Structure 1
């Protein structure tokens, strides 16, 4: 039976409310009464609010799967209770005539609505498909209540400000819930790991033949739960008559065809799910932007109107204020910035550092999603920095977060994802597994994991705590088992993507990281396997050294799928980090640093530094700080140290003078955008940046303490 809720045209109702607000549609009784009498309860036998309550109540008893059923029931029960209370308030509102009583009731209803929205957000990902049917009437009621408040006190801009932020909030919320729902929906296919169910059938021992069936299952095919341990089979490929007594290439061909079909199925799901959410919710919430007083929003940004942003970055800054000119030393101020990045979403216990601090303008723009990004690499860098500063409590919180991320990884085995959500280390909606910054953080790569290992082995060295050594050995074990390459060049391949597909290429930067990480493990344990692994990583780096002409040496970015150099991409860090790790000491090391100075040196907005790579654009400060440290420690003469000092002076000056600087941290680039260049393809933007800040601090410390070099052997690191 089709319910009135299913036929609710929320766009038309919203247009009616907007028309009423503009005075184009006269109506008696106010916005709330219009919604109650005309939309939600138009006649005795129609009660859209009760139908919505019924949808939520249905979630209480819905059987999804064991992982989310209990959590979903609790959240749905809370949401049902809040909606029932608010529905009763709506029904009673028409009988209240006293102005002050109406104002109190409206304020109370806003509180209930805000709590109901919070309960919607807390629903597990598996229940999000029901959200559009809940948010359509809920958001209409929310808007009507705020419009009623504004009509009662039109002179108070705070009501319009609340309407601005609520309209934007629902639009943002719909988008974020859709992204969560889509990520969950895709994870229902092939167990979210690209897993194929492979079965041998029709085995003929006499003829030595068999048939192999490759199947992909979908637990939520056709947008409903499917029975069975895996769900519904949606892709099946069969390789018939395979030989059992020798390698039969048809096996691999069929397997690859199945993976190709899986990719196409994933694309199809994304398209269908996007269309579904557009029809049910997203097209409607986009209309909310018509309610926003955009000039008023701009005044709020400038501090000219009393209102609060929905997304805040702490500590709050006054619009237009100049960067701080604190009396503390540069290192003191870097300490403060990194502490604040740790404390954005939690103030104690294991937690990642928020990678970027966005400006108010960026928070309202296309890069707003970066607000919740927390990279394993940046967290490891901050951990190493705090160790060198003697802030061991801070370092322990970050190291413990790396351990938690490993222990709760959805795939396990020692893996750590490249990036988590800064506001949620563990994802409650996915069974308390490590959260994933879904845009690109789901990979498990050798570089990020080696940096986690470098931070953890330093902690083990300094504290003697076995938990850090144990976690580091698990990382090393996973890399040995899954990434070691047994050819003439050796080394370690890239890792794996979110689906578990192997990266066959080998990165010099990753292998430099692995070289020092494995050397640390050997120092701590004496196990020769770690020394062998370190030597293998070094072998790959040396294989990627090129000599274009006499007295010119550089290290390229790495290899393709086989023993073939990717010689068109030459990053800065493959020169500086290789030197810092001491992989190729002597003349080759010195010549590669000269190559770096000749080919990567740049100036942006009046600040000196290095590009990320030879063919990149603009100064990138993380690379600049690493280059400065390498030139100071490994350059070998005063001329090199002079270049190092030039970079260090630039980095120090940027703390107070660079655009979007705050007087404490270092921006990723002083330019609007620093492109990494062809063959790499990503960009850094003018945001305060944890890795750039931590590298700057370590480079300054290394001028007097070589042990601050993150690649330094543990024998050179003070306990």
Structure 2
């Protein structure tokens, strides 16, 4: 999967473990036939404030479920539907990308219990970093929360993908920013050094960062737009927090790679093929459009957001929002709805506020009505079987990552940037 997405698909790891129409359409779905004065009527738009509170309650329960006596906690990423209902298994691994988003979402609200839970997860990320069998600063794709509850590290996704490293790094920089505790910045720097040592490619233009390593140490030699967007944001934060300009220089390398992936019609391609230079033009993922905008703040990616609105919006029953890529636009990817809504909010062009709110309204409908939901968390997709285009499927199961992205979008908090004091 050259130029593939940042994480291994849950179903792939599970298999190893067990052998402008947008605004009108979403607003119509949100309102239905209910009157504005009857918020409990079928089809009425859920209350945004209550919705946010319920979503945090969902994350609270997930974080508190798997903790050890030392205060380490790690939430399972998925629950319900495909990942729970089969009679012979319950898929519980915790993906560090999702964990990073949970940490950042807690810092976005910042209540005392939020920071306590954010630190519990962040301390666990430092724990698995310290206890890694290689011990060179990396973290892995996913871990088993049952192991954490027993005070041990059980790796379920042993790959070391560059984007995951950067997301954990951004979670740790957020915790340092929120608490001032040096251990979080030290952990973030260790991860950044691993990325620089193992993935920097300054020999094959366009220069940038490669995909990471497989379990056996094999390097992934393609470059991903998503990964380089992550690095752009992460290394920029490190430059701000450490005062070391080398991180700004390295962030610029990643930023320039992302710019090289933008096509003539404005969309941003997924990355390169195995040669590290030839552009991989299919599929075209949502993340390459939204994360480039969020990570760089560059107006050139306004065209990528416009391309997204014209080409990646799915309608699935009462739900409307983006799909994962142009491979399958039959279902809504609620995680993507969160980062598209956030990107539109921050762009703040004509009509963007309404478009963002329509996306958030559709997520709230899913929170209340979607199959396999619990009325609090957000499911990954509107219905089962969304094809990402990268060899994996996504399901309508409760997802910590999708819930965290919703909360960040609702708050207008950009995870690729440190909050302004």
Q: 1:367 to 1:483 in 2, by over 3 A?
A: farther
Q: Determine whether 1:621 maps to 2:340.
A: no
| Partner deviation per Cα, 1:129-159 (whole Å, 9 max, x = no partner) | xxxxxxxxxxxxxxxxxxxxxxxxxxxxxxx
SS in 1 for 2:263: strand
Other-structure match for 1:597: 309
Q: Determine whether 1:447 maps to 2:163.
A: yes
Q: 1:367 to 1:623 in 2, by over 3 A?
A: farther
SS in 2 for 1:405: helix
In the TM superposition, what is the alpha-carbon distance from 1:641 to its structure 2 partner? 2.1
Other-structure match for 1:699: 409
In the TM superposition, what is the alpha-carbon distance from 1:589 to its structure 2 partner? 1.5
Alignment equivalent of 2:213, drawn from 496, 509, 531: 496
Q: Determine whether 1:436 maps to 2:141.
A: no
Distance 2:168 2:127 in 1: 12
Please list every run of 5 or more consecutive structure 1 residues that lacks an aligned counterpart in the other structure. Answer: 1-175, 183-273, 275-324, 703-707
Please list every run of 5 or more consecutive structure 2 residues that lacks an aligned counterpart in the other structure. Answer: 1-13, 20-45
Distance 2:233 2:169 in 1: 9
TM-score normalised by the chain length of structure 2: 0.84
Q: Determine whether 1:351 maps to 2:73.
A: yes
In the TM superposition, what is the alpha-carbon distance from 1:457 to its structure 2 partner? 0.5
Contact 1:603 1:619 (C-alpha < 8 Å) held by counterparts: yes
Distance 2:49 2:357 in 1: 21
In the TM superposition, what is the alpha-carbon distance from 1:346 to its structure 2 partner? 2.5
In the TM superposition, what is the alpha-carbon distance from 1:496 to its structure 2 partner? 0.3
Contact 2:261 2:271 (C-alpha < 8 Å) held by counterparts: yes
In the TM superposition, what is the alpha-carbon distance from 1:690 to its structure 2 partner? 0.4
SS in 2 for 1:546: coil
Other-structure match for 1:310: none
Other-structure match for 2:353: 641
Alignment map for 1:54-453 (pairs within 5 Å): 329-346=50-67, 349-359=71-81, 363-365=84-86, 368-370=89-91, 372-390=92-110, 391-425=114-148, 432=152, 434-437=153-156, 441-453=157-169
Distance 2:150 2:377 in 1: 29
| Partner deviation per Cα, 1:211-266 (whole Å, 9 max, x = no partner) | xxxxxxxxxxxxxxxxxxxxxxxxxxxxxxxxxxxxxxxxxxxxxxxxxxxxxxxx
Distance 1:369 1:446 in 2: 28
TM-score normalised by the chain length of structure 1: 0.50
| Partner deviation per Cα, 1:283-311 (whole Å, 9 max, x = no partner) | xxxxxxxxxxxxxxxxxxxxxxxxxxxxx
| Partner deviation per Cα, 1:593-629 (whole Å, 9 max, x = no partner) | 1100111100123201100011124111111111111
Contact 1:676 1:683 (C-alpha < 8 Å) held by counterparts: yes
In the TM superposition, what is the alpha-carbon distance from 1:367 to its structure 2 partner? 8.8
Distance 1:369 1:658 in 2: 20
Distance 1:637 1:461 in 2: 30
| Partner deviation per Cα, 1:3-43 (whole Å, 9 max, x = no partner) | xxxxxxxxxxxxxxxxxxxxxxxxxxxxxxxxxxxxxxxxx
Contact 2:66 2:75 (C-alpha < 8 Å) held by counterparts: no
Other-structure match for 2:416: 711
Other-structure match for 2:385: 673
Distance 1:507 1:366 in 2: 37
In the TM superposition, what is the alpha-carbon distance from 1:327 to its structure 2 partner? 11
Q: 1:571 to 1:367 in 2, by over 3 A?
A: farther
Contact 2:381 2:395 (C-alpha < 8 Å) held by counterparts: yes
Distance 1:362 1:418 in 2: 18
Alignment equivalent of 2:182, drawn from 461, 466, 476: 466
In the TM superposition, what is the alpha-carbon distance from 1:427 to its structure 2 partner? 8.3
Q: 1:362 to 1:559 in 2, by over 3 A?
A: closer
Contact 2:105 2:404 (C-alpha < 8 Å) held by counterparts: yes
Q: 1:356 to 1:384 in 2, by over 3 A?
A: same
Other-structure match for 1:579: 293
Distance 1:466 1:637 in 2: 39
Other-structure match for 2:283: 569
| Partner deviation per Cα, 1:451-481 (whole Å, 9 max, x = no partner) | 0000101111121111001100000001111
Other-structure match for 1:541: 258
Q: 1:563 to 1:366 in 2, by over 3 A?
A: farther
Larger radius of gyration between Structure 1 and Structure 2: 1
Contact 1:326 1:663 (C-alpha < 8 Å) held by counterparts: no
SS in 1 for 2:147: coil
| Partner deviation per Cα, 1:351-399 (whole Å, 9 max, x = no partner) | 221101224x8534289342x2100000000000011111110110011
Other-structure match for 2:5: none
Distance 2:246 2:102 in 1: 29
Distance 2:83 2:324 in 1: 22
SS in 1 for 2:220: strand
SS in 2 for 1:698: helix
SS in 1 for 2:324: coil
Contact 1:508 1:540 (C-alpha < 8 Å) held by counterparts: yes
Structure with bigger RCO (C-alpha 8 Å, 6+ apart) = 2
Q: Determine whether 1:683 maps to 2:397.
A: no
In the TM superposition, what is the alpha-carbon distance from 1:343 to its structure 2 partner? 2.1
In the TM superposition, what is the alpha-carbon distance from 1:426 to its structure 2 partner? 8.3
Distance 1:637 1:448 in 2: 31
Contact 2:63 2:75 (C-alpha < 8 Å) held by counterparts: yes
Distance 1:643 1:412 in 2: 45
Contact 1:376 1:417 (C-alpha < 8 Å) held by counterparts: yes
Distance 2:88 2:161 in 1: 24
| Partner deviation per Cα, 1:104-128 (whole Å, 9 max, x = no partner) | xxxxxxxxxxxxxxxxxxxxxxxxx
| Partner deviation per Cα, 1:39-82 (whole Å, 9 max, x = no partner) | xxxxxxxxxxxxxxxxxxxxxxxxxxxxxxxxxxxxxxxxxxxx
